[in-house]
Structure formats: C-alpha cells, structure tokens
Structure 1
C-alpha cells in the first residue's frame, strides 16, 4: 500500500463542521462547489466528498481508507469496517440522533409487536427489516424518498421509522413515538485492510487523536492571572480546572501566576469573584486542542 491515505469527508449536514474541525486540528481543507475532491494541505492525504449514507460501503470496499459517517448508516448497510472512535460534534448537536418508531397520535399501537402485518415507511430500510425480523414480527418495509412523517398522517402507511433528536417535530405533526430503535453519533471508520497496514493505521490514529482533541477543546478556554502569594489558596478554591491549576512564581517577585483550563461558561461566573480575591491581569484565550 502506498503512503497516501484516502479519506472521506461527509457531504451534507456534517460537511462544514468537519472542515472546521480539521482546521482546528491542524489541517486546511478546501472545498469547491464544482468538485467532489477537496484539497488538503497534507501530502499524505487525499480527500473525497461522500454522502454519509454511502460512506460505509466505500470504506468497506477500500475505495477510501477511512472516513466519517453516522453509525446509523454504517449499521444500515451492515458495513464490515473498523469503528475507530466516536466524533460527537458539539457545534452540530450534543444529542445523539434517535431512530424512532412512530405512529399517528390516535393509533392503538403500543409496541412493535402490535404492528404485525403492517406497512412501515423509512429511509432506514435494511436496519428496520432486521429489527422486526429479529423479533419475529412480520411487516412490510418500504423505502421513503422523503416527507416520511406525512405518509403516516395521510394513511399511506401504518407507521414510520424516522430520525429525531428531541421528538418535538414529530409531536407537532400529530404523531406519537412508540419506542426508540437506535441511537447514532458520527463515527470515524476505517477499512479493515487499511487498519492492518502499519503506516495507514498510524496515520488514522494521528487523525483520530487530533480530531478528538479539537472536539474536547470546544467550549473550553485557558484562563491566566497573577495574584499575591497570600491570595493563591483562596483563588484556586474557586477556580475550576481539568485537573489542578498551574501555579508558578513570577521572576523576582512574591506574586504568582495561576493558569487553568475551564469551560467558557464558567469564566463569566467566576471572574468577578477572582477580582474580589485579588487576581490581576486576567487573560482568557481560546484553545484548539486538549490532548
């Protein structure tokens, strides 16, 4: 295998967030509206734009070595790939996507077993067929090209399997969630042969480590300040940190420098307290990675 990693960037809802995540991790990815082949400032990588629904099959076939897709579509296609790590994009959503079984609000259906002989409409055909088959419940599963929720409202099917986060849109359309079938988050996946290749595995591990470090840093900042030595204990007691704050002496001074990593939301809460406790020269700075 050559020392170039073919990597799939998910096209669609995760596209911009993935490009921004790579930027924070240290890679510049450029995407043109006229090309499905993004540029990247890494001679060891080639990138392709691929729909998440198809990412698993292309990784399995080794058309690409690795890529990012929703776990739901990997399971839908029963893709035989290595799941390297989860990639929970906080800028997209902290909640996992939920695939739920949905019926009309006035339907008598209380559980999946009540749908024997029913017609179910969904984009997730393969997974839905397996879900009911594993439970011995005979159903007809039809592929939905869109507007899936309207089909059960219009009586075109008895139930749907649809993706949601909070369920609020489903409820607003006069529908009811019977049960959750699966939760999904974005995952970094790799072709099994590529994963066994030492160079490619090391490259995939490098990407995974830096992308996860960038995700870990989202919403976090560094906070640095100076304080007289007799105020350090009081300040560190109110200062959140990942582990413990770093405290060091200033040159030729009885004052100390205090540095910590904390949630950006905590800063607005504690800065007034830090000032009252004697902290000076408070500096807040952004973080790209936490490893």
Structure 2
C-alpha cells in the first residue's frame, strides 16, 4: 500500500504537538519507545522522527513527502520548501538578546559585534536591511551562555516565554521574526501522495477550525431573537428551536475563541439567558 511519509521532530514540544494534531485527525500511530520510524494503522501514513535541522534536506531530497516543522527552521534552511498550512502551535520568535547591563539604543550598536547563533542565514538577511555587519559565531546548542563566557556580545535564538534569557541575565532587544509550526511539503511529492496530502490537510483544517471555535446554546425571548442573530458571527445561520415555554426559543451557533467573551457579554445585554458553552472536537465546513 502506498503511504505518505511525514517527518516530525524527534523529541521535544514540537514532537508532542505534532503527534497530538495527528491523533486529533483520527490517525493512530503504532509507535514504540525510541523508534525512528512508525506507521499508522488506519491511514496510509508513515512517520519519520528526525532532527529538526535535518528535515528541510529530507524534504528537498524527497525522502519525506511532508513535515511538521517550525517556520523559523524553513526560513533558515529551507526557503525553497513550500508551506501548505500554518498550524497555530509551538509559537515562538527569533530574537536578538544582549546582557542586561549592556546599553542598547538600536541595531546599529551591533555593527561589528560578535553574535552567537544557530541561525546565521537569518541573522545575515535581517542585518542587511539595516546595513549592519555583525561578526557571526555559529553555535549549535545552548547559545545563551556565550555572552557570559566572553564568546559573544549578543545572541540570536528562539524565544518562547523568555525565561531562559532571564536565567542567563539577558534581555531581548530585537524580534527578527515570529514563527509557528507549519505543514511543509516536498517539491518532489508524487501525484498519488499529493492526493493523500489533500485528505490529511482536510482533516487538519477541521481540527484547527474546531480548536479556534466554541459551540454555544442560549435561551432567549422570541422578540429578542432578531437582535441576537445580528450579533452572532461565524456560521452561515444559527439554529433556532422553540422551547416548551411559550414565547421563548433556544439558539445554537458557533463562535470563535478570540472574540468569545466580547460576544457573550453582548448576547447577555440583548436578552440571552442560560448560555451553555461546549468544546468542539472537529468542525467540517
């Protein structure tokens, strides 16, 4: 049986989030401890567990058809690799940080200064825009220690919460780019596997839409229904069902998490009562 091959990070948070979205897509993976390759038992898919930095080359060579990878890695090592879906998890930023006690006015302060990073291409391209040329020290691993041991004047690295910078007495001074997990595709994917990718992407879109949405039910007097419907965003039209109590109806719809509380407040102000909020597992449009 033909299988589409997907690369995911071997370990870490991105690995966990990648496997979670595949599970939410209904894909069961027969994965044993320390396996570097595993298959799905209910979808024609094979998972390869790889080092994050190696994945762009595997995509380029057609060894894997698709990958869940940080967008920051593609910017550094795989700008020729296509992105078919942004996944909304494992969000971070690639930033410049300097010692807390160091005075910093602008990026010009780093001209000729030593910057430790595992993202040399990203640094060069960013600094070109400001006509600044840093002295790049390529480090694979924990770059945060470099200023403390006198190896560099600043660092460029991924930042999530900023706690690692804080622990190493560093402060973030420039955000070069923002990143999240993406679904990337090999330029050499076959027509057969493109069809499998389309099926997988359909499932992923349903999962992502559900993660961003909530299903709500509310009761309202019939003379308030028209105003309430005007407030409701999202789906084509809410469902309105009569209640046993005369003059009242139940209204069902989907709203997005980002505007959830604002919409709820407005609904209450316009006569909605007994609001019930339910998480959505999948949302197929």
2:239 alignment counterpart: 247
Please point out which of 96, 103, 106 is paired with 1:101: 96
Unaligned runs of 5+ residues in structure 1 are none
Deviation string 1:203-246 (CA, Å, 9 cap, x unpaired) is 223322321321221153322356664553465467x4414652
2:213 alignment counterpart: 220
1:127 alignment counterpart: 122
Q: Following TM superposition, by how much is the alpha carbon of 1:112 offset from its aligned partner in structure 2, in angstroms?
A: 3.6
53-62 vs 38-47, which deviates more? 38-47
2:5 alignment counterpart: 6
The whole-number CA distance in structure 2 between the counterparts of 1:182 and 1:168 is: 19
Q: Following TM superposition, by how much is the alpha carbon of 1:19 offset from its aligned partner in structure 2, in angstroms?
A: 1.8
2:112 alignment counterpart: 117
For the 8 Å contact 1:57–1:79, the answer to whether it is kept is no
Please point out which of 192, 198, 207 is paired with 1:205: 198
1:1-291 matches, cutoff 5 A:
3-11=2-10, 12-89=12-89, 92=90, 96-132=91-127, 137-165=132-160, 167=162, 169-171=164-166, 173-194=168-189, 197-218=190-211, 220-224=213-217, 229-230=222-223, 232-233=225-226, 236=229, 240-243=232-235, 245-249=237-241, 256-263=249-256, 266=261, 273=268, 284-290=277-283, 291=285
For the 8 Å contact 1:25–1:288, the answer to whether it is kept is no
**CA spacing shift, 1:113–1:78, aligned 2, 3 Å:** farther
179-188 vs 201-210, which deviates more? 201-210
What secondary structure is seen at the aligned counterpart in 1 of 2:146? Answer: helix
What secondary structure is seen at the aligned counterpart in 2 of 1:46? Answer: strand
Q: Following TM superposition, by how much is the alpha carbon of 1:152 offset from its aligned partner in structure 2, in angstroms?
A: 0.9
Deviation string 1:77-99 (CA, Å, 9 cap, x unpaired) is 1352111121112xx5xxx4211
The whole-number CA distance in structure 2 between the counterparts of 1:249 and 1:243 is: 16
Deviation string 1:31-88 (CA, Å, 9 cap, x unpaired) is 3223122331344221112232222111111110011111111122135211112111
For the 8 Å contact 1:69–1:188, the answer to whether it is kept is yes
